[in-house]
Structure 1
Amino acid sequence: MDLTYLYRELITIAVAIDPIGTLPVFIAVTARMSSAKRKKVAVRAVLTAGGVLAFFLVFGQLLFEAMSLSLGSFQIAGGIILFIFALTMVFGDSKTEKELADVESDHRQSAVFPLAIPSIASPGAILAVIILTDNHRNAIAEQAVTAGLLALVLVVTLILLFLATPIIRLIGTPGASVISRVMGIILATVAVDAVLNGFASVGVLDING
């Protein structure tokens, strides 16, 4: 185990979780919440995502092998779910005052979906931790290092979410709405790419041909 190994693992996890890419989703979901509730949502989302990723880090490979499921199929399913959520970001109607109040009060649900899942603990992130902790190739010590790097990336994600509060103050609610719709288009593209890669993984489609 050397610095090159650590660097490769860290970059893989960081790219899969994409802390910066989570910011627009966080801003869109929490734009109308108070600063205190934004912090609660951020902490709850990161802890929830961390729990999900830790579960798949330990049991993911065993679960998939026991159920004879392919990682490609999981990637397709995750991409479809992500695409549906992206459509709600792009075409979602402006919220009424009652709906805004519901968003303000129901911050726990917002922390779980869409922030914890599928934004932070995305299908790509789950696949990454399963692959990086392959029981057939990686020793327990290497898997423990991967878990530590995962925790580090989640801490960085939490810090970035805390910094979203001054960003929201700067751009305001209209700016957050614009970012939400633009990022919805990008998220839809990412979702389609995940589905195509999933089809390629199961041998249905050759995306390089």
Structure 2
Amino acid sequence: MIDFVATFIFFFAVIDPIGTIPVFIAVTRQYDERTRRRIARRATLISAAILIFFVVAGELILTAVDIPLSAFQIAGGIVLFLFALSMIFGESKPEQEVKMAECGHETAVFPLAVPSIASPGAMLAAVLLTENDRFNIWQQAQTTLTMLAVLAVVLVCMLLATRLHRFIGNSGASIISRVMGLILASVATASVLGGIKDYFGL
């Protein structure tokens, strides 16, 4: 059995459903309610497909190019840590991605599915939390289901985006995003230390 709470919090931090709300509103502001719901469902399905691909094939790709998983764990931890720092000290996730929505074409794929929901951090998490050497098939399935549960939360947040945004506002989403960044920085540090330990056999 995996630690469902820890896994859920990890994916919640890297996917950041609350931070997706202002992005979704910016992306869909010119559409009617029915179209918004369709975009929300499509973005969630695309994100799920991308993250499940990394669960299934991520480690196989690493093996094919002869990269030790411990090295990927260290590199992934560093990238996650830098991502977390940008969430804490730079523009928060919603601030960055709202700008993408304003500058680009509003679609369910970009910037909603990628990089808002299926972010680089979420892709790395999908690989790190389903390592074949550390987790059996049943545990990997549990992790995948937990990840999909977080995506279900994302979908609910998007469907209720207008009401939730009225309640928390951009400032509230920014604050939550920074708190998630702090949690993510701690998880990233643990990932780096674990990778170093595995690599050197400590």
* TM class, shorter-length: 0.5 to 0.7
Distance 1:53 1:15, change over 3 A: same
CA distance in 2, matches of 1:156, 1:58: 22
Task: Give the percent of matched residue pairs that are identical in Structure 1 and Structure 2.
Answer: 17
Matches within 5 A, 1:47-196: 47-65=45-63, 66-68=66-68, 69-84=71-86, 87-89=90-92, 102=103, 105-106=106-107, 108-111=109-112, 112-118=114-120, 121=122, 123-128=124-129, 130-131=130-131, 134=132, 138-139=136-137, 143=140, 147=144, 150-168=147-165, 170-171=166-167, 175-196=168-189
1:32-87 per-residue CA deviation (whole Å, 9 max, x = no partner) reads 43345643443243223312321222222333343223312212113313433552
Give the 3-state SS of the residue equivalent to 1:108 in structure 2. Answer: coil
Deviation at 1:153, TM superposition (A): 4.8
Distance 1:154 1:199, change over 3 A: closer
Q: Work out whether 1:203 is the aligned partner of 2:200.
A: no
Among residues 14, 17, 25, which one is paired with 1:23 in the alignment? 17
Aligned length: 185
State the one-letter code of the partner of 1:76: I
State the one-letter code of the partner of 2:20: F
After TM superposition, the score normalised by the length of structure 1 is: 0.64
The answer to whether the 8 Å contact 2:93/2:174 transfers is yes
Distance 1:12 1:73, change over 3 A: same
The answer to whether the 8 Å contact 1:42/1:161 transfers is yes
Gaps of 5+ in 1: 205-209
Deviation at 1:117, TM superposition (A): 1.1
The answer to whether the 8 Å contact 2:20/2:158 transfers is yes
Distance 1:54 1:203, change over 3 A: same
CA distance in 2, matches of 1:198, 1:156: 25
State the one-letter code of the partner of 1:58: V
How large is the Cα RMSD of the aligned pairs? Answer: 3.8
Gaps of 5+ in 2: 198-202
Distance 1:85 1:114, change over 3 A: farther
After TM superposition, the score normalised by the length of structure 2 is: 0.66
- Rg larger in structure: 1
